[in-house]
Amino acid sequence: MRAISAKPIGIFDSGVGGLTVARSIRKELPNEDIIYFGDTARVPYGNKSRETIIRFSKEIMEFMMSRKVKMVVVACNTASSFSLANLQRSYPIPVVGVIKPGVKEARRLSRNGKVGVIGTKSTISSRAYEKELARSAGRSYSLYARSCPLFVPLVENKLVRDQVTYRVAEKYLKPLRGKKIDTLILGCTHYPILKTVIGKVMKGVMLVDSSLAVAKEVRRILQRDGLLSGHVKKRGKMTCFVSDDPGSFRDFSGIFLKEKTRVKKAVL
Ligand code: DGL
pLDDT in tens, 244-253: 999 888 888 8
Return mean pLDDT, the chain: 94
- pLDDT at position 257: 82
Q: What separation in Å is there between the alpha carbon of 51 and the centre of ligand 1? A: 16
- Give me the percent of the chain exceeding a pLDDT of 90: 85
SS3 state at 12: strand
Average of pLDDT values for 102-116?
96
pLDDT band per the 50, 70, 90 thresholds, residue 163: very high
| Residues framing ligand 1 (Cβ under 6 A) | 13-15, 17, 43-46, 76-78, 120, 123, 152, 188-190
- pLDDT at position 33: 96
pLDDT of 36 higher than 70: yes
Question: Torsion angle, CA of 52/56/58/59, rounded to 10 degrees?
Answer: 140
Q: What separation in Å is there between the alpha carbon of 15 and the centre of ligand 1? A: 8
SS3 state at 119: strand
Nearest-atom number in ligand 1 for the CA of 187 is: 4
- pLDDT at position 68: 97
Backbone angles phi, psi at 80, to 5 degrees: -65, -40
Nearest-atom number in ligand 1 for the CA of 47 is: 8
Q: What separation in Å is there between the alpha carbon of 103 and the centre of ligand 1? A: 18
- pLDDT at position 58: 98
Distance CA 178, CA 153 (A): 26
Nearest-atom number in ligand 1 for the CA of 123 is: 10
Q: What separation in Å is there between the alpha carbon of 189 and the centre of ligand 1? A: 6
Q: Whose CA is nearest to atom 8 of ligand 1?
A: 46
Q: What separation in Å is there between the alpha carbon of 17 and the centre of ligand 1? A: 7
Backbone angles phi, psi at 28, to 5 degrees: -70, -35
Nearest-atom number in ligand 1 for the CA of 98 is: 4
Q: Whose CA is nearest to atom 7 of ligand 1?
A: 44
- pLDDT at position 76: 98
- Residues involved in catalysis: 76, 188
142-155 tens-digit pLDDT: 999 999 999 999 99
pLDDT band per the 50, 70, 90 thresholds, residue 215: very high
- pLDDT at position 260: 82
pLDDT band per the 50, 70, 90 thresholds, residue 1: low
pLDDT band per the 50, 70, 90 thresholds, residue 81: very high
Residue among 37, 57, 120, 148 to mutate when testing ligand 1 (max atoms within 8 A of CB): 120
Say which residue, 137 or 55, is predicted with more confidence.
Answer: 55
Average of pLDDT values for 121-146?
93
pLDDT band per the 50, 70, 90 thresholds, residue 258: confident
Q: Whose CA is nearest to atom 2 of ligand 1?
A: 76
pLDDT of 234 higher than 90: no
Residues 6+ apart with CB under 8 A from 242: 37, 38, 39, 40, 41, 249, 263, 264, 265, 266
Residue type, 91: Y
pLDDT of 85 higher than 80: yes
pLDDT band per the 50, 70, 90 thresholds, residue 62: very high
Rg of the chain on CA atoms, in Å: 18
Say which residue, 7 or 234, is predicted with more confidence.
Answer: 7
Q: Whose CA is nearest to atom 1 of ligand 1?
A: 76
